[in-house]
Amino acid sequence: MNRTVRRVLGCSAWLAASLVFLACSSDDDSKPTTTQGAAAGVKPSILFVSIDSLRADHVHCYGYPKETSPTLDALAAGGVRFQTAVSTTSWTLPAHAAMFTGLYDSAHGVIDNGLALSEEHVTLAEALKAAGYRTAGFFGGPYLHPIYGLSQGFDVYASCMTTIPADIDAMELRREVTKAVSPSHADVTSPRTLESITKWAAEPGDGPFFAFVHLWDVHYDYIPPPEYWKRFDPDYTGSLDPRDYMGNPAIRPDMDPRDLEHLLALYDGEILWTDEHLGKIVELLRQKAGGPENLLVLVTADHGEEFFEHAQRGHAISLFEEVVRVPLIVNWPGHVAPGRVVDELVRTIDIFPTLATAAGAEAPAYVQGRDLLGLLAHEGSIPTEPAMLELWMASFDFRALRTETIKALSSESQGDVGGFRLDKDPDESDPLQPTWPNMKKALERLHGLADESLELQRRIGEPGEAVVQPWLQDRLKQLGY
Ligand SMILES: [Zn+2]
């Protein structure tokens, strides 16, 4: 097995595992189509929340035994929860570009931390603004900075970070944003985000609003206030220091299981701490919208997190389920079916067309996501669509097709590498060869989707360099940077 295959598969244990051939079964059985329209005559205000690094299986309403997420649980109980939602990648910048454009990473092109979304793209905020929405964004991590082009369409776009100086020379901004990545891990932003939203919410304004909120604190380092982690691990007497998470030599695959348990309790503590702030934000914006029935709340995450399930920590290093599966919950009292759980595979690129339809706005025809509003309002199902996953950061060069039952991986430099049968091997521990018939079929589909996406990128607009372009300089001034 070559170096790339090893990296794609990412687990030394798997290298020892023999490739197995399992019985074939259809992986893309289509289900009957249910056609549903938008909620006629209703123009809700919208709160779209992205909780950085929140894996679905650490959210209580997704089956996690610990009560990490009372707000998310309540939103799901009163709304719709998508059991199997996936991102386009495993790191922040392309994942948000995908949510904001409804496009796969190869189509929006922002696949590296030196690139910015072309202004030729129509973003979700731009589409909603064109439909009469007041738009505001609040972010807590460096990759959401306007330098990456994600502020397009926002009337207000506020940084809730402390790690980038407020009054900085525009030409130095790129350097400062890059420098801010590491210190941002220790940044605590939820209270500042709540404060910033509270100030904005107090401002008068007519008509519906669209608020995007990026909550950062679930991202490492895991340093919640003690009362939050103590809720999940009150008896810990060890000495694990959670600071400098990625550089900490004590955090490694063979670490003491008790310390790893504590690490997970710290992560869970960050989830609870963030969830509590989310609750206050939802309450505040429900009031601003004039009541819960006037506010559509959508909560998701940009990616998950690895805790040595495949011998690695962090994210942006693989496309395993623990980093690509995210929660997706939509709450809109009186308009979506309360307590509904949708099992079908859905994608974060579906968010743009779904919110656009709910808002009576128009998503561009080329958008690769699809409108899920019908699934929100009624029972029924839609034909299954696969999800493309990609990772191009640093020296990674692979993409995958994830269907409801298969994950098929291909490397740009090394060709098709095979993958996993998720229905029989949900832990992704038994790699399958690319020659397995269903894998082969999935890989063909993957190459087709990749070609289509790259063609879209050429047609719509290729990314620019993440530096302060003249147009961005004006935009930064408008936004108060
Ligand atoms: Zn992220």
- 105 CA from centroid of ligand 1 (Å): 15
| Those residues with Cβ within 8 angstroms of residue 437's Cβ, 6 or more apart along the chain or in another chain | 24
Percentage helix, strand, coil, to 5, in the chain? 40, 15, 45
In this prediction, residue 233 carries a pLDDT of 97
What distance lies between CA 20 and its chain's CA centroid? 32
Report the distance separating Cα 18 and Cα 16, nearest Å.
6
Question: pLDDT-based confidence at 17, cuts 50/70/90?
Answer: very low
As a whole-number percent, the residues of the chain with pLDDT over 70 amount to 90
Identify which has the larger pLDDT, 166 or 253: 253
Strands 398-402 and 464-465 turn out to be unpaired
Question: pLDDT-based confidence at 80, cuts 50/70/90?
Answer: very high
- 51 CA from centroid of ligand 1 (Å): 8
- 303 CA from centroid of ligand 1 (Å): 6
Question: pLDDT-based confidence at 378, cuts 50/70/90?
Answer: confident
Which of 144-148, 174-178, 232-236, 255-259 bottoms out in mean pLDDT, i.e. has the lowest? 174-178
- 269 CA from centroid of ligand 1 (Å): 18
Q: Write out the H or E segment, with its range, that includes residue 378.
A: none
In this prediction, residue 30 carries a pLDDT of 29
- 214 CA from centroid of ligand 1 (Å): 9
In this prediction, residue 7 carries a pLDDT of 40
Assess contact for 386 and 438: CB atoms under 8 A. Answer: no
Q: Which residue has the tokens 């998310």?
A: 72
Radius of gyration of the chain (CA): 21
In this prediction, residue 157 carries a pLDDT of 94
Q: Is the pLDDT at 70 greater than 90, yes or no?
A: yes
**DSSP codes of every residue in 342-374:** EEEEEEGGGHHHHHHHHHT----TT-SS---HH
- 91 CA from centroid of ligand 1 (Å): 5
Task: Tell me the residue type at 229.
Answer: W
State both tokens at 50. Answer: 């992205």
Q: Is the pLDDT at 56 greater than 60, yes or no?
A: yes
Assess contact for 226 and 273: CB atoms under 8 A. Answer: no
Strands 45-51 and 295-300 turn out to be parallel
Ion ligand 1: protein residues whose beta carbon lies under 5 Å: 52, 92, 302
In this prediction, residue 167 carries a pLDDT of 60
Strand arrangement, sheet containing 398-402:
387-391, 398-402, 406-411, 415-421
Report the distance separating Cα 51 and Cα 238, nearest Å.
29
- 410 CA from centroid of ligand 1 (Å): 23
In this prediction, residue 169 carries a pLDDT of 63
Q: Is the pLDDT at 83 greater than 80, yes or no?
A: yes
Extended beta strands in 302-447, E state = 306-307, 313-314, 325-331, 340-347, 387-391, 398-402, 406-411, 415-421
70: burial class by Cβ within 10 Å (0-12, 13-18, 19+)? middle
- 95 CA from centroid of ligand 1 (Å): 8
Question: pLDDT-based confidence at 168, cuts 50/70/90?
Answer: low
- 129 CA from centroid of ligand 1 (Å): 25
State both tokens at 9. Answer: 């598969």
In this prediction, residue 177 carries a pLDDT of 77
Q: Mean pLDDT across the stretch 23-47?
A: 48
Q: Which residue has the tokens 């993957």?
A: 446
Assess contact for 423 and 384: CB atoms under 8 A. Answer: no
In this prediction, residue 178 carries a pLDDT of 76
Structural domains of the chain sorted by starting position, each given as residue range(s) with its CATH number in brackets: 43-386+465-479 (3.40.720.10)
Question: pLDDT-based confidence at 166, cuts 50/70/90?
Answer: low
In this prediction, residue 223 carries a pLDDT of 93
- 301 CA from centroid of ligand 1 (Å): 8
Which of 65-69, 70-74, 197-201, 382-386 bottoms out in mean pLDDT, i.e. has the lowest? 382-386
Q: Mean pLDDT across the stretch 212-240?
A: 95
In this prediction, residue 182 carries a pLDDT of 80
Q: What is the pLDDT of residues 316-327, one digit of tens each?
A: 999 999 999 999
What distance lies between CA 62 and its chain's CA centroid? 16
Strand partners, 49: 213, 299
3-state secondary structure 82-132: EEEEECCCCCHHHHHHHHHHCCCHHHHCCCCCCEECCCCCCCHHHHHHHCC
State both tokens at 294. Answer: 């006037």
